[in-house]
Chain A
């Protein structure tokens, strides 16, 4: 455990990896706020278990006014400070580009690029005035390696990697640490579109012999936002060594 007593925003925390991150960060003694389009039963359960230490709101990640309002509301609820954000919300893709319709492309760009950019912009304004903070972007090995059927998704993750490096230069001096955690194919709703033989091939090519899981990724995210590493502008792969 690295984080404790922090005020943290995790985007897209109502299910999947985001839900795991939110749950574990709460368990570690942090106050955590998350947003997604729709409330899930898991949000009600966390509300009940953690009370004022947890906050959920239905927010469209690409609505800048709503996201700015959410960040302001969270700071008010949690005592004024925003220690860390985790940009987790994303949608996947499983289509060759030539067969992907424009609406789908636009949706991936909006959720995976515009959304995180809006949240980071709101967060760094807060962090700048409070003297620092931590930003963790959930990227993907697809941002650095080529995989067919994932072109737009890969481009969106490459964007996060590149923006992370640029922002490290822009705001690093203000005590804001920004890094990416890039999972490989991991056991998630997104990888559930892969056929069993595809998953077996990936496992066979992975030096560790296994796919990463939510807890593997959480452990690295927890370290990245701890503010104790002096790691800045980096992309950390959590992929069992498949990109090594």
Chain B
């Protein structure tokens, strides 16, 4: 390399020009000419690597999001664009403000730390991201003056809170075994997923804090390329422990942490869509599109209403058109559900507040509203993969009903809406249960004998019991 440069003054000038533009390292004034060149090249390589990595991770993420959007839109159409004012209010209160989380204060506060940490530390990720692209270090430091150290100090406090909260969450899941976090539907992958998320967050926060500690130690040594800032609130206490290390070791630590941290962030970004953790994004649209009608109201089936009208008053019924496709009554598979049900499924973070409140589950029945949501998502992902492989959905002989959710689970529901009420991100498991029940009864004629008797009584005696309609007002005279 040395030889080449000496022989080729054009190339030398070119590299100098690039290095001059892209780095803060001014090696013209340096006697260490070659060291400068190597450092400049290292910076260039780092920048290129960073940009490639950033673009790749954003591309893969965007592709997966597109796929998820396509999957959600496999659901039936449902117009949820009314009352935007109320919907924005719901989104701000429930998603941003986490209103429903505070029914249970301990996890709510810990969750708030992690959430606030996630949102606010992202401002720091922005700086790291820009540093990575343009090859600067602590780009915002000179712009912000003394405020910068306070800002980073604030991020560090949040990072420490995130770290502590995640450790407590790990304990709650794996040691004290909070009931709703240790149910059988979580065995296997869902459990691992939860632990991977928590451990990743702990690692990311640790890397961030170690990086800042090394940085402060480097600043104290007056290392080049590390702009001096005031001390940071948390890592200021640890920088002393790093001061015994040599400058090159510290640079290595700082760089490795910087890289691992940002690689971790890119990894996490692409892990999200495969994980229950995707709720951090979908909580917002899910709260926006949540049900505005009273919780007790069951969605009307216009197609059945028209059937009845056609029977009773044919002149009033809307004429059936030949191009009307026959829609299955109720839902057998995910594609029969509404797109909002599918958005619900992707928004579920498997916290189990619904299941913990479910009277059927509390009394040992198989029904778990959380499992209804997990099954819906699993089946939807399966359908999505099927479409990826075959260009369009190829019948796989499976369906959400029976293959994922059993009749016994559906039969246990009391429609009490405790699950709907409990969900912090406004997921409605009851809506899915109702649609599957409709399919069972109206498409499969699958109902327990006692229900068939009840149906018969209502039809013939106008009451769910076998009493004569003539006796309906008999109580008046007794």
Question: Do A and B originate from a single complex?
Answer: no
